Chains A and B, each alone.
Chain A
Amino acid sequence: MASSFVELDVRPILRAGGEPFEAIMGAVSKLGPGQGLRLLATFKPVPLFSVLGARGFAHEAQELAGGDWEVLFRPEEGASQPPSAAAETGSADASDWPAPVQHMDNRDLDPPEPMVRILAATEALKEGDVLSALLCREPIFLLPELAKRGHAWRGAFEGDGKTYRILVRIGAAGKAAA
């Protein structure tokens, strides 16, 4: 039922090697009621489907000539209210998070070593600190463990579609839910 779409072309950011996630979430937060987002990217931005799906957007993706992708994110009826922070700690916009105090590259570790190291690192950090880690797949068994320990996170595949970057903010889930 979207009457209009705001267009956002993140291809220049991606081609320059940048991370368009914040630009996309910024554009989404500025959408008016009933407005959708027309996103142009150099790859099929699969992780966004669940992130924006949690915010009440349906998606329609189509490949354009030259391998680029156009995705229409359309607000679903009855889903205009913002999602509850408690349920969606994973999808929360991280643009207001402080810069990570620790970076890890866990891409070449045998599973489940990436999960072990991230959890060990979270135990050593202070409340409010942010940890950044690179992985080679979505850490589906790690996420419930982070939630149980009260940490907030957000993650998505990078532009190459192979590297998954997760940001974990220590002890932030309880605060967001309050």
Chain B
Amino acid sequence: MTGVTLSRWTMSYFAAALVALMAAEAMMAVGYGFPAAAIAAPETLILVHVVAIGWLSLLMCGALLQFLPVLVAQPLYSNALALPALVSLVVGLAALILAFLQLDGRIAPAVPFFAIAAALLIAGFAFVLWNLARTMAAAPTMPLPARFVVVGLAGVTFTVVLGATFALVLGGTVDYGPLVALTTAGLPIHVVAGLGGWLTFTAMGVSYRLLAMFMLAPELEGATTKAALLLGAAALGMAIAGGILAVLLGGNPSLALLAALAMGVLALALYGADVLHLYRARRRRNIELNSRMAAYALVSLAASVVLTLLLLAIRRLGDHAAAVVFLIAFGWLSGLGLAQLYKIVAFLTWLECYGPVLGKGPTPRVQDLVVENRAGKWFLLYFIAVWAGAAALLAGLPLAFRFAAALLLVATVGIVAQLVRTRRLADVKDAARLPQGARPPRLLLSCQP
């Protein structure tokens, strides 16, 4: 074990991700995509993929390149592989957007953008998966949080394979009957594999470790955590394998998805109990902004589970699926992501800039790089806007939703400005900013001598 160093391209992943988040919020604010357009319209598909690939997947990939090595105590297999992965993902997303515009008839179908998007996105995710898989294969141990990540990586694999299948069928490259059937009926499986398998499962795994680490709480390795892992993995297996099988046999995947939901809710309940335990058993009384804001994200996750069950009970889930997806994507995943980014960017910047000179003279603390009171207001606005937006979708008020999306954008710009200030050491007092031997970090790139 030689320890873990800074992942060189993680800040570039974060920056690209944040640009995509702000772009998506701007689209919602100006009324692009659902609810102004139909839920399956090309505009909505563009919006959804800017959020899912551009923001959430790039955020998660960048975070995993840095923190999977921490989870398994093993250096990252390759820093160099992270850059071609990022380029493939970003260009692949651009191609996918162009392909959806072709579907809409807005640009000529001369270039096969669907096939290009499928190839680039498969390549980009494959580079990331290979890098992370080689890192884990070399690790001496696989603690429970890393096992959640393994399930998450299986989730992204299925999501990408299904997505690529849809792209090839919609682009006219493939017309094989069963794959056409999968494209017609497989959308819910793609969504569950992506939001549930890849993003939620990975976020759960990483949050177990980050919450324990930042709140000085004991690591959880007990029966509830193991059961959450097994039940969650079983739920995803049921949704993905069962769902695909049902479609290929000519049925519809609803039964498999319902069975998966039952197991998934149990898994999330166990996760919720674990997280409550982490907050209660913490030795650090005054927790930092990232852990306080993570609580709002966790509340949003709980709210989306309750909302799903309520809508199912009154048989209205089909009508309001968008509100549930919005709450999961922006309340839970984005909320948790932004909250932890606030701490991660500060910590990585501090380590990069001051690590080499620690102990040799006075250096700022990590908390000197941030001003929590100022950032806290933007976070509060962010969560209020998310909840207002979900309520507007439920109530069927498109104009109110656009207003909430505009607030969301303002809050996000506020948070991003804090992250840039942190990266630039703008909140560190002048006299302390650059002790002898310390070099200012670059905005998008981490270098360690």
User: Residues of A at under 8 Å CB distance from B?
Assistant: 46, 49-50, 53-54, 87, 90-91, 108, 110-112, 115-116, 118-123, 136-145, 147-148, 162
User: Can you sample 17 A-B contacts with CB below 8 Å?
Assistant: A49-B140, A53-B140, A54-B1, A87-B2, A91-B1, A110-B216, A112-B350, A116-B358, A120-B359, A123-B360, A140-B3, A140-B69, A143-B2, A143-B4, A144-B5, A145-B356, A162-B218
From known contacts A108-B283, A116-B359, infer whether A143 and B3 are also in contact, taking CB-CB under 8 Å. yes
Q: Could you tell me the distance between the alpha carbons of A121 and B449 in the complex, rounded to whole angstroms?
A: 22
How would residues 1 to 17 of chain B score, 1 for a CB under 8 Å from any chain A CB and 0 otherwise? Answer: 11111000000000000
- Residue from the list B1, B350, B359 in contact with A119, Cβ < 8 A: B359
Interface string of B134-158 (1 = CB under 8 A from A): 0000001100000000000000000
Interface set, chain B 288-314, CB cutoff 8 A to A = none
Which of A115, A121, A139 has the largest number of chain B CB atoms within 10 A?
Answer: A115
Question: Which A residues are in CB contact (< 8 Å) with B5?
Answer: 144
The contact of B4 among A49, A111, A115, A141, by CB within 8 Å, is: A141
Are A121 and B366 interface neighbours, CB within 8 A?
no
Interface string of B366-399 (1 = CB under 8 A from A): 1000000000000000000000000000000000
Closest residue of chain B to A162 (Cβ to Cβ) is: B218
- Closest-CB distance, A158 to chain B (whole angstroms): 15
Q: Distance (Å) between the CB of A117 and the closest chain B CB?
A: 8
Chain A residues with CB below 8 A from B3, complex form: 90, 139-145, 147
For the complex, give the distance between the alpha carbons of A50 and B360 in Å.
31
B94, chain A: closest CB distance, angstroms: 35
Chain B residues in 8 Å Cβ range of A49: 140-141
- Alpha-carbon distance A138/B70, docked complex (angstroms): 10
Whether B351 contacts A112 by the Cβ 8 Å rule is yes
CA distance A116 to B347 in the complex (A): 13
Residue from B3, B219, B347, B366 whose CB has the most chain A CB atoms within 10 Å = B3
* Complex Cα–Cα for A168 and B355 (A): 17
Residue on B with the closest CB to A155? B1
CA distance A87 to B3 in the complex (A): 12
Q: When the two chains form the complex, which single residue of B1, B214, B356, B448 contacts A90, counting CB atoms closer than 8 Å?
A: B1
A122 touches B359 (CB 8 A): yes
* Across-interface contacts of B69 in A (CB, < 8 A): 140
Q: Is the CB of B70 within 8 A of A140?
A: yes
Rounded to whole angstroms, the CA-CA distance of A88 and B366 in the bound complex is: 30
Number of residues on chain B facing chain A (CB within 8 A): 30
* Cβ-defined partner of B140 (8 Å) among A50, A118, A139: A50
- Contact of B359 with A123 in the complex, beta carbons under 8 Å: yes
| A145-B1 contact in complex given A108-B216, A110-B216, C-beta closer than 8 Å | no
Complex Cα gap A54–B1 (Å): 8
Told that A53-B140, A119-B358, A162-B218 touch, could you supply 17 new A-B pairs with CB distance under 8 A? A49-B140, A49-B141, A50-B73, A90-B3, A111-B213, A111-B214, A112-B350, A112-B366, A119-B359, A137-B219, A138-B1, A138-B73, A140-B3, A140-B4, A141-B355, A143-B1, A148-B356
B442 interface contact, C-beta 8 A: no
B278 to chain A, nearest CB (A): 14
What is the CB-to-nearest-CB distance from A125 to chain B, in angstroms, rounded to a whole number? 10
Q: Which residues from B are CB-within-8-Å of A136? A: 216
CA distance A115 to B359 in the complex (A): 9
Q: How far is the CB of B288 from chain A (nearest CB, A)?
A: 9
Give the docked Cα–Cα distance between A123 and B359 (Å): 6
A140 and B358 form a contact (CB under 8 A): no
Establish whether residues A120 and B2, one from each chain, have CB atoms under 8 Å apart when the complex forms: no
Give the distance to chain A from B1, nearest Cβ to Cβ, in Å: 5
Collect the chain A residues with CB atoms within 8 Å of residue B355's CB. Answer: 141, 145
Task: Please report the C-alpha to C-alpha distance between residue A4 and residue B81 in the assembled complex, in whole angstroms.
Answer: 43
Q: Which residues between 320 and 368 of chain B lie within 8 Å of chain A, taking CB atoms?
A: 347, 350-351, 355-356, 358-360, 363, 365-366
* Residues of chain B contacted by A140 (CB below 8 angstroms): 1, 3-4, 69-70, 73
Contacts of A141 in B (CB 8 A): 3-4, 351, 355
- Residues of the A chain whose Cβ atoms lie less than 8 Å from the Cβ of B449: 148
Q: Which residues of chain B come closer than 8 Å to A139, judged between CB atoms?
A: 3
Instruction: Give the residues in chain A near B73, CB-CB below 8 Å.
Output: 50, 138, 140
**Beta-carbon contact of B359 and A90 below 8 Å:** no
* B284 interface contact, C-beta 8 A: yes
Top 5 closest pairs, chain A to chain B, by CB: A143-B3, A119-B359, A120-B359, A50-B140, A119-B358
Instruction: Give the docked Cα–Cα distance between A13 and B355 (Å).
Output: 38
Question: How distant is A16 from chain B, measured CB to nearest CB, in Å?
Answer: 25
Residues on B with C-beta less than 8 A from A147 are: 2-3
Which has the most chain A C-beta neighbours within 10 Å: B355, B363, B366?
A: B355
CA distance A123 to B111 in the complex (A): 62
CA distance A90 to B4 in the complex (A): 13
Residues of A within 8 A of B218 (CB): 162
The CA-CA distance from A53 to B74 in the complex, in Å, is 13
Partner of B359, one of A46, A110, A121, A137: A121
Say how far A20's CB is from chain B's closest CB, in angstroms: 19
Closest chain-B Cβ to A144's Cβ sits at a distance in Å of 4
Closest-by-CB residue of A relative to B287 is: A110
Determine if A115 and B214 form an interchain contact, defined as CB atoms under 8 angstroms apart.
no
**Alpha-carbon distance A121/B1, docked complex (angstroms):** 22
Interchain nearest-CB distance for B16 vs A (Å): 25
Cβ-closest chain B residue relative to A109: B216
